[in-house]
């Protein structure tokens, strides 16, 4: 049993068929968590599909209409880089609902996790790089609209720059964005985040963590967000097909744990999403995402031990 909730739905699958994006990964992560006894069915929350009202706080009416009616132009489908289908649209609306729910449960339990989402390349008016709807932005706008939080931070550790996130929140003083990514990689155009940590090709664990952790500490101390959304990329892994960094699985888990520890130290709730992961062996991608959940559990258990010792 976990000290927080997992958000999952069997229709998270993006229906991509044979594609570099392993869209069966959502189910495989869920199954590994149960199979290895990390989670039980009681730990799981089923999300509702996000409402159009929720989506429209971030996306243009035109883009929402095109997605819902299947009227994307050929160039819009090319930019999205995944085949259009009704299932894809359902899955991304559901992913946005899942990230909203992960945010709400993080505010309640200190930590919450969506086993989908992290679609950080989506812009208000178009999709890009496998991302049609920006679930994290939708969740932040929903929590703000409900008065649940005023200020949020996004820590994006996908190997690709969080261009959609940066563009959406560029002139918004209520949302602070950090992206750590490989500089020489997609997307070609990188609108500025509040903090962009541009990693050189083949950067390894220590160099990466040496850049990320101080940036997270400084941002948490100075910005004082009420929630941290963590975009947990599996693609900085050394064997990733779309990434050019050289992190190990252990380094990636250390990354997750250290970010969660910094947040916990400051009582900042953390909501996590998945993000990219294109390892040659799908099992590696699954393991890296499962490790993010384990890191969350370790940090939650350590801090509850500490509070029971002091209490």
Q: How many residues bind Zn ion (CB under 5 A)?
A: 4
Q: How far is the CB of 276 from Zn ion (least distance, A)?
A: 3
User: Taking CB under 5 A as the rule, does residue 161 contact Zn ion?
Assistant: no
Q: Closest CB to Zn ion among 159 and 300?
A: 159
User: Taking CB under 5 A as the rule, does residue 235 contact Zn ion?
Assistant: yes
Q: How far is the CB of 261 from Zn ion (least distance, A)?
A: 24
Q: Closest CB to Zn ion among 76 and 158?
A: 158
Closest residue to bound Zn ion by CB:
276
User: Taking CB under 5 A as the rule, does residue 128 contact Zn ion?
Assistant: no
Q: Closest CB to Zn ion among 225 and 276?
A: 276
- Cis geometry, peptide bond prior to residue 187 (ω within 30 degrees of 0): yes
Q: How far is the CB of 32 from Zn ion (least distance, A)?
A: 21
Please select the residue that binds Zn ion; options are 135, 276, 292, 300, rule is CB under 5 A.
276
Question: What track of x and - describes contact with Zn ion for positions 4 through 33 (by CB under 5 A)?
Answer: ------------------------------
Cα separation, 74 vs 71, in Å, equals: 9
Please select the residue that binds Zn ion; options are 43, 76, 158, 196, rule is CB under 5 A.
158
Q: How far is the CB of 75 from Zn ion (least distance, A)?
A: 22
Which residue, among 41, 27, 40, 44, has the nearest Cα to 91 in the 3D structure? 27
Q: Closest CB to Zn ion among 54 and 158?
A: 158
Please select the residue that binds Zn ion; options are 9, 126, 134, 160, rule is CB under 5 A.
160
Using the contact rule CB under 5 A, the part of the chain among 3-11, 53-61, 87-95, 152-160 near Zn ion is: 152-160
Cβ-count burial 129-139 (b if 16+ within 10 Å, e if not): bbbbbbbbbbb
User: Could you list the residues that contact Zn ion (CB under 5 A)?
Assistant: 158, 160, 235, 276
């Amino acid at each position: 049993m976990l000290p927080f909730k997992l958000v999952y739905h069997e229709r998270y699958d993006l229906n991509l068929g044979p594609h570099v994006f392993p869209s069966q990964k959502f189910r495989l992560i869920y199954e590994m968590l149960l199979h290895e006894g990390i989670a039980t069915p009681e730990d799981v929350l089923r999300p509702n599909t996000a409402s159009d009202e929720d989506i429209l706080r971030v996306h243009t009416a035109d883009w929402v209409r095109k997605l819902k009616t299947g009227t994307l132009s050929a160039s819009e489908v090319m930019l999205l880089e995944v085949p259009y289908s009704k299932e894809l649209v359902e899955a991304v609306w559901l992913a946005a609902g899942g990230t909203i729910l992960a945010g709400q449960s993080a505010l309640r339990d200190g930590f919450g996790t969506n086993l989908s989402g992290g679609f950080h390349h989506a812009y208000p008016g178009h999709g890009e790089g496998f991302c049609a709807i920006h679930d994290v932005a939708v969740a932040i706008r929903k929590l703000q609209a409900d008065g649940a939080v005023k200020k949020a931070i996004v820590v994006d550790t996908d190997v690709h720059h969080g261009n959609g996130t940066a563009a959406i929140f560029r002139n918004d003083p209520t949302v602070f964005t950090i992206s750590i990514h490989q500089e020489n990689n997609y997307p070609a155009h990188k609108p500025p985040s509040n903090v962009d940590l541009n990693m050189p090709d083949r950067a390894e664990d220590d160099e990466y963590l040496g850049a990320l952790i101080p940036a997270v500490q400084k941002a948490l101390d100075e910005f004082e967000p009420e929630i941290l959304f963590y975009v947990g990329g599996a693609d900085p892994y050394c064997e990733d097909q779309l990434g050019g960094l050289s992190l190990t699985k252990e380094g990636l888990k250390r990354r997750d744990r250290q970010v969660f520890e910094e947040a916990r130290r400051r009582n900042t709730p953390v909501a996590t999403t998945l993000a990219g992961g294109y390892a040659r062996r799908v099992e590696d991608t699954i393991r890296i995402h499962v490790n993010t959940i384990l890191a969350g559990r370790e940090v939650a258990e350590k801090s509850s031990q500490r509070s029971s010792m002091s209490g």
